[in-house]
């Protein structure tokens, strides 16, 4: 599926920002107190850093970045993630526009100020020195199924730049350079990243491909996987599926357990009790509801070093001893703002639960009031 990324604050960005919650919820990047996305890394409603920078420029007199007495300044704000497993690549290009005579909130609502009217968005693939350029097409995300939520930004049109991966496939290990070009052919900004390898089933060592999820209260569980060497940061999620029955009506339900956020290793151990603590907090108690466990999905979302650096810098100057300055990270050239990076997603569906897990859900101290049958 296509993905985006949402970077709205210096808070940690969820990697699991996926297409349907995106840029995450850049998604996801990202949807991941939520930590690592989006997510999107996203998909999600891509609410870029534009308003953050606009608000900062207008209110922080201590900033050395801009002199607001010198008239108008505009900068490109760019977000994109590439993934070999996605069906399309979407890039959002907007502008942070500073005008001493106009409120940032007014500018954000004006599509003519929010979007560049005459740019070209090009991605150059470099496969061992063999370079190929492909031009992305401007589309309305609202018509692509990625409707932008109402808020401080103009929500229609919702311009994105798209390339179909069936025509221009993303090749793992290849370098990709994103160019934003003006009408005269000059480069407004650019950024380079490397496409991560696709995950295969054998890359996930634990839990095993045929293992049932067995969460003993005192038991030790492990998740372990083999990632691309360039994958610098990871999220691990379990999506838990169950049914609810109330007044004779059965409804499919799910909750997502974000086991790991912004994790830089590929192995993690935890106590089984953590699963029941999560379930007790994620599902409301209702004596009128009967619940039936179904199965689970395991999702591992990995991001490139650019996403890791964004999160690290965002966290570096937070807290009561910080200077109060908002740290900013971008891998865009010429003063451009935003992020261009790679992402890889693993997903294993239809994982069953061991009897010990089902019994503890029904009778355990954390979940017995949830009425699982």
User: Which pLDDT score is estimated for 327?
Assistant: 56
Spatial contact of 87 and 1, defined as CB atoms under 8 Å apart? yes
User: Which pLDDT score is estimated for 153?
Assistant: 79
**What is the H or E stretch that residue 260 is in?**
strand 249-263
Locate tokens 């192995």: which residue?
Answer: 267
- Of the ranges 24-38, 258-272, 288-302, 320-334, which one carries the lowest mean pLDDT score? 24-38
Measured at the CA of 301, the angle between CA 189 and CA 342, to 5 degrees, comes to 20
Q: Assign 147 a pLDDT band (cuts: 50, 70, 90).
A: confident
Instruction: Give the dihedral of Cα atoms 135, 329, 128, 303; nearest 10 deg.
Output: -90
Domain ranges of the chain: 201-303+344-370
What tens digit of pLDDT does each residue of 204-214 get? 999 999 999 99
Spatial contact of 77 and 97, defined as CB atoms under 8 Å apart? no
How far is the C-alpha of 129 from the C-alpha of 64, rounded, in Å? 40
3-state secondary structure of 363: helix
CB atoms within 10 A of CB 106: 10
Residues in the chain: 373
Burial class (CB in 10 A: 0-12, 13-18, 19+), 189: buried
CB atoms within 10 A of CB 242: 20
Q: Write the DSSP string, 293-348.
A: EEEEEEEEEEE-HHHHHHHHHHHHT-STTS-S--------STT-EEEEEEEEEEEE
Spatial contact of 50 and 153, defined as CB atoms under 8 Å apart? yes
The strand order across the sheet containing 120-127 reads 130-135, 120-127, 175-181, 187-194
How far is the C-alpha of 259 from the C-alpha of 165, rounded, in Å? 31
Record the pTM.
0.78
- The token pair that represents 149 in the structure block: 């939520």
* pLDDT > 60? residue 3: no
User: Which pLDDT score is estimated for 73?
Assistant: 58
- Of the ranges 66-75, 174-183, 219-228, which one carries the lowest mean pLDDT score? 66-75
- The proportion of the chain whose per-residue pLDDT surpasses 90, expressed as a percent, equals 65
Picking from 109, 252, 114, 125, the residue whose alpha carbon sits closest to that of residue 176 is 125
Tell me which of 72 and 262 has the higher pLDDT. 262
* pLDDT > 90? residue 41: no
User: Which pLDDT score is estimated for 95?
Assistant: 85
The strand order across the sheet containing 249-263 reads 137-140, 159-164, 88-98, 73-82, 337-351, 290-303, 233-246, 249-263
Spatial contact of 169 and 277, defined as CB atoms under 8 Å apart? no
Bridge partners, 160 (sequence order): 139
Averaged pLDDT, 88-111: 81
Handedness of CA 346, 235, 305, 208 (dihedral sign): negative
**What is the H or E stretch that residue 90 is in?**
strand 88-98
Helix then strand then coil, in percent of the chain rounded to 5, is 15, 40, 45
How far is the C-alpha of 200 from the C-alpha of 346, rounded, in Å? 7
> Between helices 355-363 and 273-282, what is the axis angle to 10°?
50
What tens digit of pLDDT does each residue of 346-360 get? 999 999 999 999 999
Bridge partners, 347 (sequence order): 299
What tens digit of pLDDT does each residue of 15-34 get? 433 332 223 323 333 322 22
Averaged pLDDT, 112-131: 93
- The proportion of the chain whose per-residue pLDDT surpasses 70, expressed as a percent, equals 76
């Amino acid at each position: 599926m296509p993905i985006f990324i949402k970077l709205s604050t210096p808070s940690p960005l969820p990697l699991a920002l996926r297409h349907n919650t995106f840029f995450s919820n850049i998604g996801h990047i990202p949807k991941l107190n939520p930590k690592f996305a989006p997510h999107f890394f996203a998909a999600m409603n891509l609410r870029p850093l534009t308003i953050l920078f606009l608000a900062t420029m207008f209110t922080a007199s201590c900033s050395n970045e801009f002199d607001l007495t010198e008239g108008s300044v505009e900068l490109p704000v760019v977000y994109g993630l590439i993934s070999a497993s996605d069906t399309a690549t979407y890039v959002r290009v907007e502008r942070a526009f500073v005008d001493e005579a106009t409120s940032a909130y007014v500018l954000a609502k004006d599509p003519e100020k929010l979007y560049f009217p005459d740019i070209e968005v090009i991605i150059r693939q470099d496969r061992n020195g063999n370079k190929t350029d492909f031009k992305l097409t401007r589309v309305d995300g609202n018509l692509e199924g990625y409707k932008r939520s109402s808020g401080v930004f103009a929500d229609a049109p919702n311009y994105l730049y798209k390339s179909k991966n069936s025509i221009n496939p993303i090749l793992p290990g290849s370098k990709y350079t994103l160019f934003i070009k003006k009408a005269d052919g000059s480069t407004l900004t650019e950024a380079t990243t490397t496409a991560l390898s696709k995950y295969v089933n054998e890359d996930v060592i634990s839990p095993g491909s045929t293992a049932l999820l067995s969460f003993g209260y005192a038991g030790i569980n492990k998740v372990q996987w083999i990632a691309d060497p360039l994958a610098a940061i990871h999220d691990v999620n379990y999506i838990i599926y169950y049914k609810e029955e109330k007044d004779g009506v059965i409804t499919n339900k799910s909750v997502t357990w974000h086991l790991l956020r912004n994790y830089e290793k590929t192995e993690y151990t935890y106590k089984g009790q953590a699963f029941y603590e999560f379930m007790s907090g994620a599902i409301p108690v209702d004596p009128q509801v009967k619940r039936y466990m179904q199965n689970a999905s395991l999702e591992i979302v990995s991001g490139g070093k650019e996403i890791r650096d964004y999160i690290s810098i965002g966290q570096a100057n937070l807290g009561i001893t910080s200077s109060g300055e908002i740290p900013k990270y971008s891998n865009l050239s010429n003063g451009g703002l935003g992020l261009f990076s790679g992402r890889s997603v693993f997903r294993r569906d239809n994982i069953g639960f061991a009897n010990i897990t089902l019994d503890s859900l029904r009778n355990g101290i954390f979940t017995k009031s949830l009425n699982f049958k």
